[in-house]
Amino acid sequence: MKPELLAPAGDIEAGYAALYYGADAVYLGLKHFSARATATNFDDNELNNFVGYAHHLKRKVYVTINTLVQETELPALLNSLDVCSNCGVDGIILQDLGVARIIKSQYPELELHASTQMAVHNKQGALALQKMGFKRVVLARELSAAEIKDIASIPDLETEAFIHGALCYSYSGLCLFSSLESGRSANRGKCLYPCRSVFRGENGEKHYFSMKDMALQEEVLKLPVTSLKIEGRKKTALYVAAVTDYYRNILDGKGAVAQKEENIKQIFSRPWCKFMLRGKDKNVVDHDFVGHRGLLIGKVSQVANGRLIFKPNHKIARHDGLQIDVAGQEKPFGFSIQNMSVNGRHVFEASSKDEVSITLPPKSPLISKGQNVYLASSSEVKGTYDYTRPKDGEYTHRHDIKVELDIFADKISARCGAFCTELKGKFEAASNIEKTTEAADKAFNKTGDTEFKLKGLTINNPESLFVPVSMLNDLRRSLYEKIHFEGKHGKLPSALPARAPKSAQWIIRTDNIDNLRMVDLSRFAEIEFLLTCDTKIDVFDNLPKNKVRLVLPALARDAVVWSKKISSFLGAGYKKWTIGNWWGLNLLPEQGIDLAFDNSLYTLNTQAISMAGEIGANRVCLSFEDTLGNMCSVAELSPLPVVMPLYSDVPLFSSAVCIRSNSCSQCPKDTRWIKLRGEDHNYSALSMNCQTFVFDNRPLCFAAEALKVKADFYRVDFCYKEYSAERVAAILTQVMNYKDIDNCAKGNINRSVI
């Protein structure tokens, strides 16, 4: 069976374009709870019309409700889910456990699709989500073909893989950069894309994190997944049409058409790459330029007297847009062709055989011979992808009704369920009863702009009486004005019983036991240790086993190695565990352990915490990127014990993309720190085990706000960065007295919203 071709729609026009050019399904967002909050998105009426049209074509529609939901937003979430259910969408793409719990309880007709924001990057994570009721898993973009194949082999689980579009430097769902630095959370659909910015590092000022675009092209034919996904809910209908058309041709056996590829690049395109499909690839970052480049059509021959001279390898025309790579500028210089000549003669159009001379706009930057010239916008391409769309309301999703019409000598009445109306009158025998029946049927089939359609009409006319058409229309209007389709109105399922309040206890976390040398461990309820693949059991020999809690990292590309390590620690009697990703849930036993959810398994509302408890968690951790107001609400209402982190070096990026400048073959594979300078702050990148973690040099500290939150545990972290035992002791003294350390970052804790 051919895989589904899944196209994006940031607005209804992009959706119609996607369907016209061959998408089997479309994914889109509503006005709220969409991870592309700045896209136009769909209102309720547009969703209704679009779903009706898509289903008429036998295509599917998935709605993205894939942001983290704060406690006060739960009622509004129900409204969005009501709309999705009433419009008959085919699935909900989600990240938040609370959304999943509500759908399972109140909207079982809606399929659960795990968003790529859930960072599913191995088979164990996918299996865990399947057990939780997810029908489909959207895989992390970082996976190789072999890893995708492994996950896709799970019986009865649908898999979805990205095949084209923008890439993030960090694993989706594990990026906190925009949120903690600017208050605009990627997990809330408001990312400011700081990854595209310039940083000063060991190779000078570069775009160290600005990714190329993914374009798998004919490689998609080798992917054994259910659905092939095009990224682009912030792109135009023209872009969606072109990319959908390109991959439709590939899937239909017509190959990767070069002209269609060129069209895409003229609409919007960064340089293309296969990302990690074939394994590790360091050539996936565009270090020198950001944004749309276009189709490379030549190199500058010369610049003279305010004119650009070059020989394009592609047809160009007046009003087309050109872009030129200019050294020292992070974006190519772009302009529209206003004046063009060939051999001294003004022309509107030039072929690939011509050397052209084009007037440059005033105040153009210094352009040198040999610089690349791109065709960034083509009038011809803009007219290539016409599409048809239905008339407004033509395919509105309407609900079926049945009407019963009674005709008596002195009145007529009509009923639909509990709704009823009647009109008085004097009605005589019909000369042609069939005409009366036809008139009644025609009148009541006029449902107009109502939210229903007539499924059946029963006419009771025992005396074969005649009713004027005008009265039938009046009766129909009167009845239809009364009918109101209530639709589905879900309710919040009851949360788990509230926990019994206790005095807050302290937790210390580390990845280096030497950090604890000067710490009085009797003051701590638990000692958490962040495991690596190299951690040995004997490292804990001098610690009280009943206090040790082992922390599994969020990222584990080789779950087989981790399975063996977990088994060895369980065999040694370690029963307390914290997981940072869903894969840990599937490798740990369901019984006999004390399980905690870490920060990266987000629980920003009581519905999410309740589901965490239902799948085995004994406590949860507040999010690093949350606000103080929501932390207070969640901690007060939580059915599970709550951990509040007070001090931590928080990874802003967690990436599979290596930041080192050396080739993989020459890599010493040691742990290495690289200094970076952004616009306002200093950062540090940790390269370790073929992964990159980026940190603000200022640790996050919430000590001053701690007492406002009714947490059960306060946690102090000393992981990733190097600490001396003396420094650890000094920080603990200050933080445990609820005082912030100097020069700390505060994230969003004192912001009103994220």
Q: Which amino acid is at 15?
A: G
Predicted model pTM:
0.92
CATH 3.20.20.60 domain extents, the chain: 505-650+699-735
Nearest CA-CA partner of 415 in 444, 436, 439: 444
Residue with tokens 């519905």: 607
- The class (CATH top level) of 4-167+212-273 is alpha beta
Cα 547 to Cα 536: distance, rounded to the nearest angstrom: 17
What mean pLDDT do residues 196-216 have? 94
- Output the DSSP codes for 572-605: TT--EEEESSHHHHHHS-SSSSEEEE-TTS---S
752: confidence class by pLDDT, cuts 50, 70, 90: confident
484: confidence class by pLDDT, cuts 50, 70, 90: confident
Q: How far apart are the first and last CA of the chain?
A: 43
CATH 2.40.30.10 domain extents, the chain: 295-382
754: confidence class by pLDDT, cuts 50, 70, 90: confident
Nearest CA-CA partner of 397 in 453, 478, 326, 352: 453
Residue pair 509/551 in contact (Cβ under 8 Å)? The answer is: yes
pLDDT in the model for residue 448: 84
* pLDDT at 529 exceeding the cut of 90: yes
Q: Which CATH number fits domain 505-650+699-735: 3.20.20.60, 1.10.540.10, 1.20.140.10, 1.10.3720.10?
A: 3.20.20.60
pLDDT over 70 for what percent of the chain? Answer: 100
* pLDDT at 743 exceeding the cut of 90: yes
Q: Exposed, middle or buried by CB within 10 Å (0-12, 13-18, 19+), for 235?
A: buried
* pLDDT at 283 exceeding the cut of 80: yes
Cα 506 to Cα 527: distance, rounded to the nearest angstrom: 9
pLDDT in the model for residue 230: 98
pLDDT in the model for residue 666: 84
Other beta carbons within 10 angstroms of residue 250's beta carbon come to 21
Residue with tokens 């394994």: 279
Helix ranges restricted to H, 496-643: 559-571, 582-587, 606-614, 628-637
Hey, is 246 helix, strand or coil?
helix
pLDDT in the model for residue 669: 84
pLDDT in the model for residue 486: 76
Cα 683 to Cα 645: distance, rounded to the nearest angstrom: 21
* pLDDT at 157 exceeding the cut of 90: yes
What mean pLDDT do residues 230-241 have? 97
Q: E strands of 408-531, at which residues?
A: 411-416, 419-424, 452-460, 505-510, 526-530
Q: Which value, in Å, is the radius of gyration of the alpha carbons in the chain?
A: 31
Query: Which tokens is 368 given?
Result: 């040198």
The string of pLDDT tens digits covering residues 326-365 is 888 888 999 999 999 999 999 999 998 899 999 999 989 9
Cα 339 to Cα 365: distance, rounded to the nearest angstrom: 18
Query: Which tokens is 378 given?
Result: 């083509």
The string of pLDDT tens digits covering residues 582-627 is 999 999 999 999 999 999 999 999 999 999 999 999 999 999 999 9
What mean pLDDT do residues 444-461 have? 91
pLDDT in the model for residue 403: 96
What is the maximum span of the chain, computed from C-alpha positions, in angstroms?
Answer: 106
Crossing angle of the two packed helices 123-131 and 559-571, in degrees rounded to 10: 70
Cα 662 to Cα 666: distance, rounded to the nearest angstrom: 6
Query: Which tokens is 45 given?
Result: 């009426």
Other beta carbons within 10 angstroms of residue 2's beta carbon come to 10
* pLDDT at 692 exceeding the cut of 90: yes
Residue pair 170/740 in contact (Cβ under 8 Å)? The answer is: no
Q: Which CATH number fits domain 295-382: 3.30.300.130, 3.20.20.70, 2.40.30.10, 3.20.20.330?
A: 2.40.30.10
Nearest CA-CA partner of 367 in 302, 305, 322: 302
Secondary structure element (H or E) that encloses residue 162, with its range: strand 158-165
Q: Which amino acid is at 386?
A: D
CATH 3.20.20.70 domain extents, the chain: 4-167+212-273
* pLDDT at 37 exceeding the cut of 80: no
pLDDT over 90 for what percent of the chain? Answer: 88
What mean pLDDT do residues 722-748 have? 97
Residue with tokens 């309301």: 393
Q: Which amino acid is at 75?
A: P
- What mean pLDDT, rounded, does the chain reach? 95
Q: Would you say the C-alpha torsion 63, 69, 73, 78 has a positive or negative sign? A: positive
Task: Enumerate residues 6+ apart whose C-beta is below 8 A from 662.
Answer: none
* pLDDT at 488 exceeding the cut of 90: no
* pLDDT at 40 exceeding the cut of 90: no
115: confidence class by pLDDT, cuts 50, 70, 90: very high
Residue pair 584/576 in contact (Cβ under 8 Å)? The answer is: no
212: confidence class by pLDDT, cuts 50, 70, 90: very high
What mean pLDDT do residues 541-562 have? 94
Residue pair 285/210 in contact (Cβ under 8 Å)? The answer is: yes
The string of pLDDT tens digits covering residues 355-402 is 999 999 998 999 999 999 999 999 999 999 999 999 988 888 888 899
Secondary structure element (H or E) that encloses residue 732, with its range: helix 725-735
